[in-house]
């Protein structure tokens, strides 16, 4: 019985990742950006790591939806970083491809990291592809 | 009215702060526990942990497309056949999933920590030779071998899966579904 209990405890310790410290995302408001159909949209945010250990965090956008019901599965073209050193801030830019078939509209979704609780609300205003870049 | 922000904060998710010492404790506890649980349990929990991660990833935009693309190819049907016939579905369902990403992140944080030397003092490690016995002629394995090996392993998987997904026509844009207009605006 004692051996059973010990074995069960060892199994439990293995399974739950003993005292595995984790991370959580704290963010309020919405990260907003603009992208052209057929081009890209760039999300640009400062990531502040308040933890005393570095965090490897691959930020990913979730499924985006427009008010009229269009659903967009955004693809990340490039990320500036996925490693956030302890007690440091780093600028994170994520370039997202905007399909040419995506109708101009305001799309809302989230920006988060797998297995890290919390996320940032994300809004991408998709405009006509012929619109000129701002200077 | 939306509030535009330009910063995200990464904080501790629970009562145990993420420090080099606590990340090292987590790694040590896993290593020490390996000596007292079965290989089946260790491997089963890892498989269950990866599968749990896959389900979570499938809820993301890219993950949903990867899943849909893979399911439309032979990988989906052959994988399901292997899984079922070899009994992996039953076996993996009984093991609690390991927190594979938390473990990976904590282990990676040790590799880039500035205060690792201080944390390595006074660790309590079980001598592997006593419990494992001779499994083969000793052949030195360096940590950098493992790191480069993991890079090569993940590169191989990523390359293959990306190639399969790229060859599969999956829509990244879907027109409005009348029955879906009242749904939540979430990923």
- Provide the total of helices (H) and of strands (E) in chain B, helices listed first: 9, 2
Distance from CA of B170 to the nearest CA of A (A): 10
Residue B82 has pLDDT above 90, yes or no: yes
User: Is residue B20 less than 8 Å (CB to CB) from chain A?
Assistant: yes
Q: Average pLDDT, stretch A78-99?
A: 95
Q: Would you state the pLDDT for residue B187?
A: 40
User: What's the CA gap between A127 and A116, in Å, rounded?
Assistant: 32
| B97 touches B49 (CB < 8 A) | yes
User: What's the CA gap between B20 and A86, in Å, rounded?
Assistant: 10
Residue pairs spanning A and B at CB distance below 8 A: 251
Kind plus residue range of the DSSP H or E element containing A71: strand A71-72
Mutation for A interface: B1, B2, B9, most A CBs within 10 A: B9
Distance from CA of B30 to the nearest CA of A (A): 6
Distance from CA of B151 to the nearest CA of A (A): 15
Distance from CA of A1 to the nearest CA of B (A): 16
- Residue B12, SS3? strand
Q: Name the average pLDDT for chain B.
A: 85
Of B2, B180, B181, the CB nearest to A29: B2
Residues of B in contact with A112 (CB under 8 A): 60, 187
Token pair in block for residue B83: 């899984």
User: What's the CA gap between B138 and B89, in Å, rounded?
Assistant: 36
pLDDT tens for each residue of A104-134: 999 999 999 998 988 999 999 999 876 555 4
Q: Would you state the pLDDT for residue B16?
A: 86
Residue B108 has pLDDT above 90, yes or no: yes
CB contact under 8 A, B8 and A120: yes
- Residue A6, SS3? helix
Interface of B with A in 119-178 (CB under 8 A): 171-178
Residue A56 has pLDDT above 60, yes or no: yes
Task: Map A22-66 to HEC letters.
Answer: CEEEECCCEEEEEEECCCEEEEEEEEEECCECCEECCEEECCEEE
Residues of A in contact with B33 (CB under 8 A): 10, 13-14, 18
The β-bridge relationship of strands A40-49 and B7-12 is parallel
**Residue A28: which pLDDT band, with cuts at 50, 70 and 90?**
confident
Nearest CA to B100 out of B144, B149, B51, B59 is that of: B51
pLDDT tens for each residue of B62-78: 999 999 999 999 999 99
> Phi and psi at residue B68, in whole multiples of 5°?
-65, -40
Question: Hey, how many other C-beta atoms are within 10 angstroms of the C-beta on B104?
Answer: 14
Nearest CA to A58 out of A112, A95, A108, A96 is that of: A112
Q: Average pLDDT, stretch A9-33?
A: 75
CB contact under 8 A, A17 and B108: no
Q: Which residue has the higher pLDDT, B182 or A4?
A: A4
| A107 touches B186 (CB < 8 A) | no
Q: Would you state the pLDDT for residue B41?
A: 86
Q: How far is CA A70 from the centre of its chain?
A: 21
pLDDT tens for each residue of B133-177: 666 777 889 999 999 999 999 999 999 999 998 888 777 888 887
Residue B40 has pLDDT above 70, yes or no: yes
DSSP string, B44-109: HHHHHHHHHHHHHHTTSHHHHHHHHHHHTSHHHHHHHHHHHHTTHHHHHHTSPPP-HHHHHHHHHH
> Phi and psi at residue A129, in whole multiples of 5°?
-65, -15
Residue labelled with tokens 């302890």: A86
Nearest CA to A67 out of A34, A115, A103 is that of: A103
CB contact under 8 A, A31 and B6: yes
CB contact under 8 A, B30 and A23: no
- Residue A119, SS3? strand
Q: Which residue has the higher pLDDT, A88 or B93?
A: A88
Q: Would you state the pLDDT for residue B70?
A: 94
Distance from CA of B95 to the nearest CA of A (A): 8
Q: Would you state the pLDDT for residue B8?
A: 93
CB contact under 8 A, A51 and B42: no
| B113 touches A56 (CB < 8 A) | no
């Amino acid at each position: 019985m004692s051996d059973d209990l010990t074995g069960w405890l060892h199994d439990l310790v293995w399974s739950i990742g003993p005292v595995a410290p984790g991370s959580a995302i704290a963010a309020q408001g919405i990260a907003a950006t603009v992208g052209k159909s057929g081009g890209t949209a760039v999300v640009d945010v400062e990531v502040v790591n308040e933890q005393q250990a570095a965090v490897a965090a691959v930020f990913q956008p979730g499924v985006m939806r427009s008010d009229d019901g269009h659903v967009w599965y955004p693809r990340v073209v490039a990320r500036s970083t996925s490693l956030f050193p302890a007690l440091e801030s780093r600028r994170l830019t994520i370039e997202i491809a905007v399909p040419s078939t995506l109708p101009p509209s305001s799309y809302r979704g989230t920006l988060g990291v797998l297995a890290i609780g919390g996320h940032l609300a994300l809004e991408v205003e998709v405009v006509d592809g012929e619109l000129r870049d701002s200077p | 009215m939306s509030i535009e922000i330009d910063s995200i904060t990464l904080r501790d998710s629970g009562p145990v702060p993420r420090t080099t010492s606590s990340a090292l404790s987590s790694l040590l506890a896993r290593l020490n526990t390996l000596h007292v649980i079965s290989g089946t349990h260790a491997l089963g929990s890892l498989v269950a942990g990866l599968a749990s991660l896959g389900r979570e990833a499938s809820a993301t935009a890219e993950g949903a497309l990867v899943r849909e693309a893979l399911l439309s190819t032979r990988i989906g049907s052959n994988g399901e056949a292997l899984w079922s016939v070899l009994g992996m579905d039953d076996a993996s369902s009984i093991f609690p999933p390991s927190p594979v990403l938390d473990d990976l992140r904590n282990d990676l944080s040790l590799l880039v920590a500035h205060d690792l030397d201080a944390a390595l003092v006074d660790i309590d490690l079980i001598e592997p030779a006593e419990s494992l016995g001779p499994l083969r002629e000793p052949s030195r394995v360096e940590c950098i071998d493992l790191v480069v090996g993991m890079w090569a392993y993940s590169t191989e998987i990523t390359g293959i899966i990306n190639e399969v997904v790229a060859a599969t026509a999956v829509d990244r844009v879907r027109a409005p579904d009348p029955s879906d207009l009242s749904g939540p605006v979430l990923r």
